[in-house]
Amino acid sequence: MVSSRIPQLREELRGRGSFGARAAGDAIRLAANEWPEPTPMGRYVTAEDMERVLLNRYPGPGPATELRTILAQRYGVAPDQLVFGNGSGDTLLGLFLLFGGHGRTTLVFTPTFPIHMRLATIAGGAVARENVGLPYEVTTERALAAVQRTGAHIVLFCTPNNPTGTVIDDDVILTVAERYPETLVLVDEAYGEIAGRTLLPALPDHPNLVLSKTFSKVYAAAGLRMGVLVFHPALAEPVRAAQLPTSVSVVTYAVATRLARDEESVRARIAEIRSERERVFAGLREVGGVAPFPSEANFILFRISGDPVAAYERFLDEGILLREMSAWGCPGCLRVSIGTPEENDRFLAVAARILAPTPA
Ligand SMILES: Cc1ncc(COP(=O)(O)O)c(C=O)c1O
C-alpha cells in the first residue's frame, strides 16, 4: 500500500489544474493558436540530412551554428546574442530561474498568458499582477506606476497579447526599460511576426530588454519545441555562461535549421492568417450578441451574451474545440484560433447557429 505520507510540492504549487488543452478526439482544434495545417517532418528533413545528425555526441556549439547564423541575420543581431531552448516554456523558465526566483518579483499585465505566471512561480519567485482588463490597453502611466508599486525585478510585456490579440505600444515598453535600467524587461513576441512588429531595432540601446520568440506559431512547428531569446550582448554573455550548454537536442537543431531556411512559407502563412482572421472577425461581428475584440495575432477573443461554459460545450458537441476564458480573467469570453479556411467556415456556421440569441 502506498503511504499517504508522500513528498509534497512547494505550497504555492499545490492544487493547480494542468494547463494543456482538453483531448479533442476528432474535433477541429482551435484552442492552442497553432498553425492548422500539418507540417510533416519529412517535408524538411531528408534521409541525407539524417545521416549527418550524429546522436553519439553531446550537442556542443556545432549543431546550432547554422540556425544561429540564419536567425541572427534575420533579426539583425550578432549570433552570440541568441539563446535557444525547448520552446518558450523552457527558455522563459530559464530566464525566471536566472533573474527571478526567491525574493524577486515578476510583474505581468492581466489578462495575459497564464503560463508566464506559472513559470515565474515554479522558479520560486513572486508574481505581481496589474489588472488591465478588457479592452486591454497598457498605457505608459499605468506601466510605470505598476513597476514603482511592485518593485518588480522582471516586467513582462506580451505583444501581441494572448488572449486579447492586442499590441502594446513600443513607447510604453521602452519608457519602462529606460526608467528602470536594472529591471529585466521581457517581451514575449510569440505572435510578433503576425502583427509585423518587433522591438529588435531597440535592442542595441536597451541592455535590459530581452525578446522571446518561438517556432510554434508562424514556423508551424509547435511540436518541435524550439524557443529563442534575443539579448543585448551585455546580458547574452552572462546568461550563456550560467545556462546548461546541452539542453536542446541535435535532432531539434537539425529540424529547426531546415524550417528556418524556409522564410517563404513563413511569409505565406502570415498573409493567410491575416486574411482569414479578418474574415473570422467580420463573421463574428455579424452574429447577434457576440462582441469580438480586434486582434493582431492568430486568434480572436470574443464575448458572448450567454454562458461561456455552456457555449464551449456546445461547440465541442459540434466537433470544435475552443478555449473558455473565465479562468484567464475574461468573464463571458471564448477564444478561437484561426484555422484553415474550411475550419473557419465551419466555426462561423456553428457560431451563427448557437450563439445568436433566440428571439423572445
Ligand atoms: C504568448 C505566448 N508565448 C509563448 C507561447 C508558447 O510558446 P512555445 O510553444 O514556444 O512554448 C504561447 C503559446 O500559446 C503564447 O501564447
The CATH number for 152's domain is 3.40.640.10
Name the residue with the closest Cα to ligand 1, atom 2.
190
Q: Which atom of ligand 1 is nearest to the CA of 161?
A: 1
Pick the closest to residue 301 from 321, 275, 330 (CA basis).
330
Asked if residue 158 has its Cβ within 6 Å of ligand 1, the reply is yes
Asked if residue 222 has its Cβ within 6 Å of ligand 1, the reply is yes
Q: Which of the listed residues 231, 262, 293 is the one where a domain comes to its end?
A: 262
> 152 and 175 share a domain?
yes
Domain span at residue 89 reads 53-262
> 92 and 237 share a domain?
yes
> 28 and 120 share a domain?
no
CATH of residue 280:
3.90.1150.10
> 168 and 221 share a domain?
yes
Asked if residue 85 has its Cβ within 6 Å of ligand 1, the reply is no
- The answer to whether residue 47 sits within a structural domain is no
Helices 233-242, 87-99: crossing angle, 10 deg rounding: 90
> 279 and 154 share a domain?
no
Asked if residue 88 has its Cβ within 6 Å of ligand 1, the reply is yes
DSSP structure string for 305-332 = SS-HHHHHHHHHHTTEE-EE-GGGT-TT
Place of cell 505550497: 11
Domain count, the chain: 2
Q: Which atom of ligand 1 is nearest to the CA of 214?
A: 10
Tens-binned pLDDT, residue by residue, of the chain (360 aa):
667 799 999 999 998 777 666 677 899 999 999 999 999 999 999 999 999 999 999 998 888 999 999 999 999 999 999 999 999 999 999 999 999 999 999 999 999 999 999 999 999 999 999 999 999 999 999 999 999 999 999 999 999 999 999 999 999 999 999 999 999 999 999 999 999 999 999 999 999 999 999 999 999 999 999 999 999 999 999 999 998 767 899 999 999 999 999 999 999 999 999 999 999 999 999 999 999 999 999 999 999 999 999 999 999 999 999 999 999 999 999 999 999 999 999 999 999 999 987 766
Q: Which atom of ligand 1 is nearest to the CA of 216?
A: 9
- The answer to whether residue 5 sits within a structural domain is no
Asked if residue 188 has its Cβ within 6 Å of ligand 1, the reply is yes
Q: Which of the listed residues 204, 229, 262 is the one where a domain comes to its end?
A: 262
Name the residue with the closest Cα to ligand 1, atom 16.
162
> 309 and 215 share a domain?
no
Report the DSSP pairing between strands 333-337 and 323-324. Answer: antiparallel
Q: Which of the listed residues 219, 238, 262 is the one where a domain comes to its end?
A: 262
> 326 and 222 share a domain?
no
